[in-house]
Amino acid sequence: MTRKEKYQYVIHYFQEHTPDAETELFYDNPYQLLVAVILSAQCTDKRVNMTTPALFAQYPNPYDLAQASFEDVFYYIKSISYPNNKAKHLIGMANMLINDFNGEVPMTVDELIKLPGVGRKTANVVTSVIDEQPNMAVDTHVFRVSARLGLTTTGAKTPLAVEKELVKNIPTELIHKAHHWLILHGRYTCLARTPKCYDCGLTEVCNYYRKNIKPAKAK
């Protein structure tokens, strides 16, 4: 099977089984999504979703958040990983939104990565979710699933390298959705330590299954 055929197979599978895949983060507007994605770094979406309702109630917009003290923001996000850094980032991000972007969340990756706490992955998430731009955010799930399936080459050893290969091979109009396909597959099926290969519909084209599971099964 060629790489092109593998991509076609995987895309068809997800289109059939999870056609409406979307982010599991709770948000009502671009500002809330940006805050949630910043908080989600090295933290579960479930934990973030438990934290953001009170945070958003207290700071419903960048103007309110920009006026907040570090101690107050820390109080609301203390159950999140790295709350010290993230509290500083959120306040700094809000101030920059006001000072540089008229209080609006910019919709280009180059502008977003200027904000405190926002790297390329976060910028790709925001632009692809809000604006359906063909940007592929690569987190640990996307990195792992892409490698195991064989969607990426062995030379793709960094998130940026994986991003470039996926964007090159996935139809432009599907990239924003493919991001969620791969994340959700990694979160619930292709787990890091104990992948649920026997519950997976992609074993027929999966390099990991062919090399690690199928031989053991045959013994």
Annotated binding residues for [4Fe-4S] cluster, as ranges? 190, 197, 200, 206
Taken as a whole, the chain contains a residue count of 219
Q: In the annotation, is 121 catalytic?
A: yes
Q: Which of 45, 78, 88, 121 is catalytic?
A: 121
Q: Which of 28, 139, 157, 196 is catalytic?
A: 139
Q: How far apart are CA 33 and CA 59, in angstroms?
A: 13
- Compute and round to an integer the Cα radius of gyration of the chain: 19
Q: In the annotation, is 88 catalytic?
A: no
Which residues carry a binding-site annotation?
190, 197, 200, 206
Cβ(26)–Cβ(49) below 8 Å: yes
Q: How far apart are CA 213 and CA 181, in angstroms?
A: 23
Q: Which of 20, 40, 42 is nearest to 181 (CA)?
A: 20
Q: How far apart are CA 25 and CA 33, in angstroms?
A: 7
Which residues carry out catalysis?
A: 121, 139
